[in-house]
Amino acid sequence: MPHGRPRALRTPGGLSVRLEPRALIVVAALVVAALAASVVLIGTGDFPIPAEDVVKTLLGDGNAGQEFIVNELRLPRVLVGLLVGASLGLGGALFQAVSRNPLGSPDVLGLGQGATAGALVMIVLFSGSTTQVTVGALVGGLVTGALIYLLAWKRGVHGYRLVLVGIGLSAIATAVNGYLMTKADFVDAARAVVWMTGTLDGRDWKQVWPLLVLACVLVPLVLANARGLRMMEMGDDVSHALGVRVERVRLVLMVCAVLLTAAATAAAGPVSFVALTAPQLARRLTRSPGPNLVPSLCMGAALLVTADWASQRLFGDGQLPVGVVTGVLGGVYLLWLLVTERRAGRI
């Protein structure tokens, strides 16, 4: 087989895994980039730590002060950033693959707005704690995802109907959020605005473990259904003929995508455009057809930790919420994507 062509790896149990050398190289490069950005980010702050000392401290060879700053203050924030970015990247790839639409991301479908509505209810109406706000955001995202699926169902769920229903629910959720903000007092409104922007400030180990456990459960489940998802790109009729249980696979992957997106939003707020841009950038780097699930996951993680570093270092003494940086970059990318799609005659 010529070098650089896709290869099939068969395990003793009969499982066949498709390997594409370029995609493997891209994934490896993204993992290295995410880890390097994480080390730099951990060393960034009022008490800067050289990258070499950060690595030594992570390996257990730092002094007491460095261990406290690295392991207790900065490492949890970086891990939350990696997990949130990976969850949004994978969730975005799933939504785009299921809807067969490059704009079919949680940002467009309204999951972020739904999660925001749940969080605002807890902040404005109940003055909830951080844990209660997180639970409210998670519930809001899950309810929105369930409504999108149920309202888009008509002898199956199809791409454009899914996107249109999502846009409609997004508009409704945005209106609800605006109403809730008008009812908030000054303190709650300021707190809500910070959360709605998307931020990693103040994140600790309490946010790390739920995200990590969820990722350990959902990522293998998604990859186990990746073959069916790839076949579904040929159309439902062809997939049925090849033995794929289309609606079952679609439902499982939609549930996984909603859980990943809702959990990420609950942990860091509605960080915009990562779910939209990560799968698109990953696909352009790998030049591979299909959903590109693992490259999208790695791209999302690398994008978010890099954006978090930029939000802390590129704006002088002031620090911006990471959602501001991803919003600006993602907005520029969305405009470029729309222009490209229009010139290609696809919209």
Which is nearest to 330 in space by CA: 286, 280, 293? 280
The pLDDT of residue 69 is: 92
pLDDT band at 15 (very low <50, low <70, confident <90, very high): very low
For residue 132, pLDDT beyond 70: yes
Given a cut of 70, whether residue 297 has pLDDT beyond it is: yes
Interval 204-210 mean pLDDT:
89
pLDDT in tens, 94-123: 999 888 887 778 888 888 899 999 999 998
User: Greatest CA span in the chain, whole angstroms?
Assistant: 67
Residue at 10 is within a domain: no
273: in domain: yes
Residue at 226 is within a domain: yes
CATH number assigned to the domain comprising residue 53: 1.10.3470.10
Does 7 map to a domain?
A: no
Position of tokens 């990953």?
Answer: 282
14 inside domain: no
HSE (side-chain half, CA atoms, 13 Å) at 179: 9
Q: Rounded CA gap, 138 and 115, in Å?
A: 6
In the chain, the number of structural domains is 1
Q: What is the pTM of this model?
A: 0.89
| DSSP assignment letter at 157 | B
**8 A C-beta contact, residue 207 and residue 135:** no
pLDDT category at 1 given cuts 50, 70, 90 is very low
Residues 130/250, Cβ–Cβ less than 8 Å: no
Beta partners for 18?
8
Residue 182 in domain: yes
CB-based contact 339:214 (threshold 8 Å): no
* In a domain? residue 331: yes
Instruction: Name the residue range of residue 116's domain.
Output: 38-344
Query: What percent of the chain is modeled with pLDDT above 90?
Result: 39
Residue 215 lies in a domain: yes
